[in-house]
């Protein structure tokens, strides 16, 4: 009897351990949906480069302008979903919408006049594919890191140029054409359990967007190079909700 009892106990322990291991390795909720809102801060990249040429039969000097000089901080929306294929690892698809208003920008000089530019607003819709790893910090708080690559579809960008003292106003139509740009980024975040099937989260990251499609309308003026290097780095900060099902 003693031998049979020991064998039964050992079998029960093995079954219990196996069940526990499966419970730890397989998440209770595999699918999730997520939505967040925040802002996008440009940290590097030029919306236009510098050049010297001719415009309106006058010598023109164009100065370099960074994205953050023209656009500042803008709206950043994201929504998407994920699949937990391990307890701490999630495969993700995320859609990102960006909209950033443009400020009137000093562009340089046209003859004896200051030259100004008014860019169109920067708007893009992107899709990213990535992977996220979680680390539990306590019973209701998890940290995570994620990486993603994808595409951003950026609207056409025009700019209106004006030189008041030279009595000149002109539009550089299609300064940048509609563009499908390559993107990649990294994010670090915290997820707070607010319900058995819902988390609130906040995250900060770094995102790269390759250059927009330049248009050669200014080639004959000597200014054709001012819009051929337009990739950018940004730092998005997002807060939102994640639902598990």
**In this predicted model, what pLDDT tens digit does every residue of 182-211 receive, in sequence order?**
999 999 999 999 999 999 999 999 999 999
What are the two backbone dihedrals, phi and then psi, of residue 24, each rounded to the nearest 5 degrees? -80, -30
For 92-129, how does the pLDDT look when each residue is reduced to its tens digit (9 = 90+)? 999 999 999 999 999 999 999 999 999 999 999 999 99
Q: pLDDT for 229-241, tens place per residue?
A: 899 999 999 999 9
| pLDDT at 70 (0 to 100) | 92
Task: Name all domains of the chain by residue range, CATH numbers in brackets.
Answer: 27-244 (2.40.160.20)
Two structure tokens written together for 197: 């099937």
CA distances (Å), origin 190, targets 39, 173, 184, 187, 193:
17, 44, 20, 10, 10
């Amino acid at each position: 009897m003693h031998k049979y009892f020991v064998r039964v106990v050992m079998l029960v322990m093995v079954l219990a351990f196996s069940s526990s291991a499966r419970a730890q390795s397989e998440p209770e909720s595999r699918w999730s949906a997520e939505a967040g809102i925040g802002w996008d801060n440009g940290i590097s990249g030029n919306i236009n480069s510098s050049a010297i040429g001719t415009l309106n039969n006058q010598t023109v000097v164009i100065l370099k302008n960074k994205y953050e000089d023209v656009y500042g901080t803008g709206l950043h929306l994201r929504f998407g979903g994920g699949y937990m294929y391990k307890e701490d690892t999630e495969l993700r698809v995320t859609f990102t919408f960006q909209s950033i208003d443009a400020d009137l920008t000093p562009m340089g000089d046209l003859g004896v006049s200051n030259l100004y530019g008014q860019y169109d607003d920067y708007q893009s819709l992107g899709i990213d594919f990535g992977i996220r790893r979680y680390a539990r910090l306590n019973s209701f708080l998890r940290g995570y890191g994620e990486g993603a690559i994808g595409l951003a579809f950026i609207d056409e960008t025009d700019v209106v140029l004006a030189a008041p003292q030279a009595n000149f106003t002109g539009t550089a139509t299609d300064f940048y054409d509609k563009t499908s740009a390559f993107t990649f980024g990294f994010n670090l975040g915290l997820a707070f359990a607010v319900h058995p099937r819902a988390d609130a989260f906040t995250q900060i990251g770094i995102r790269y967007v390759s250059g927009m499609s330049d248009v050669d309308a200014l080639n004959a003026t000597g200014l054709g190079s001012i819009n051929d290097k337009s990739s950018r780095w940004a730092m998005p900060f997002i807060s939102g909700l994640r639902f598990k099902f």
